[in-house]
Structure 1
Amino acid sequence: MAKVISINISDEKGMSKDPIQEGIFVESFGLEGDAHGGDWHRQVSILAQESIDKIAARGIKDLFPGRFAENITTEGIILHELPVGMKLLIGETLQEVTQIGKKCHSRCGIYHTVGDCVMPKEGIFTKVIKGGRIKIGDLIKILG
């Protein structure tokens, strides 16, 4: 069963995010108050705890939800295998997968702090089709 285990926010792009209990996700923007939000195709970044665990298994310490600058940390779903265009019901929101992974042109602050970054390989990005509230523990339903 796929679910949200953390919602994370920051006021600066490319940096670790701080966990919050719930977030308001705004249609055509992303997480209210987050630096990553805006009128573009990567409004929300999502990463699976299973992907974080792969990096932790290499002996890298101090990994926690939000460390890779993801807005939503999930459990129970292989995110990077979802096709672009897939729709996800997360809490009260409807989101569409717009990108799988990303190019890392230069080593970001996360890479230098953590020693590796899984977001370029296994993170996904979505745009918010229908806004609403997302809380820790909310289920994720794949539509398609």
Structure 2
Amino acid sequence: MTTYNVRSIHTAKITELTFGRKTFPSALLKQPIEKEMWLSETGLAEDEQTPEHHGGTEKALCLYPYDHYSFWDGWMDMQDGSALFGENITTEGIHERNTHIGDRFEFGEAVIEVTEPRQPCFKIAAKYNKPELIVRMRESGFTGFYFRVLKEGYVKPGDQLILLERDQAGVTVQEVNELLFAGSPSRAQYDRILEATAFSKTLRPKLIQKRH
């Protein structure tokens, strides 16, 4: 049984945030939960999402690997270090190169499935006053990724991610990142990526359209 450590689970309410000259609504400033919480098909009960980039059934939960924190340390002000990129779960051992679209995990009482990489947006760059952060995240492949919730249930601090099933197509999150951020991906790359059938309902149609 493969188990990955969840260091912390985070939530936040949407507030108006100002970073430098930018003001925008965001739930980026997430803090660790200290009690059991319901994880529904649209996310954690006390977490809010700005719908243009996050949330919904296909992006119900966002993971970012703690393994990557050292990559960013020293390059930018990591502030309090909690939910560095506004992720819902900060984990150890699981990352873009060893995780596939469609991999399924038990998380507390819930069951979750990987749907797509996180695509970094301007709000993260604004938070750290690093306009080049988005490019750096894309080039490194250290993006994190999203899950849908297949089975709702309670989760709590101390719950781990337990691998239930590897997707048969074996398309890693990193492979998807390489395609999304490539200058001119080939038809063969698209064919390979689309072997994964568990993509989010928003990303898969876009990949099919771009392939043609």
TM-score using structure 1 length:
0.81
Aligned to 1:28: 41
Alpha-carbon distance in 1 for matches of 2:91, 2:156: 12
Asked if residue 126 in structure 1 is aligned to residue 144 in structure 2, the reply is no
Q: Output the amino acid matched with 1:24.
A: M
Aligned to 2:92: 75
- Is the contact between residue 26 and residue 132 of structure 1 (CA under 8 Å) also seen in structure 2? yes
- State the secondary structure of the residue aligned to 2:59: coil
RMSD value, Cα? 2.5
TM-score using structure 2 length:
0.58
Query: Which one scores higher on RCO, CA 8 angstroms, separation ≥ 6?
Result: 1
Q: Output the amino acid matched with 2:11.
A: I
- Correspondence list, 1:42-121, <5 A: 42-58=59-75, 60-79=77-96, 81-104=98-121, 107-108=122-123, 110-114=124-128, 115=130, 116=133, 118=137, 121=142
Point out where structure 2 has 5 or more consecutive residues left out of the alignment.
Answer: 15-25, 166-212
TM superposition shift of 1:82: 1.2
Structure with greater strand percent: 1
Identity %: 25
TM superposition shift of 1:22: 3.6
Structure with greater helix percent: 2
Point out where structure 1 has 5 or more consecutive residues left out of the alignment.
Answer: none
Q: Output the amino acid matched with 1:137.
A: G
Which of 11, 14, 20 pairs up with 2:13?
11
Larger Rg: 2
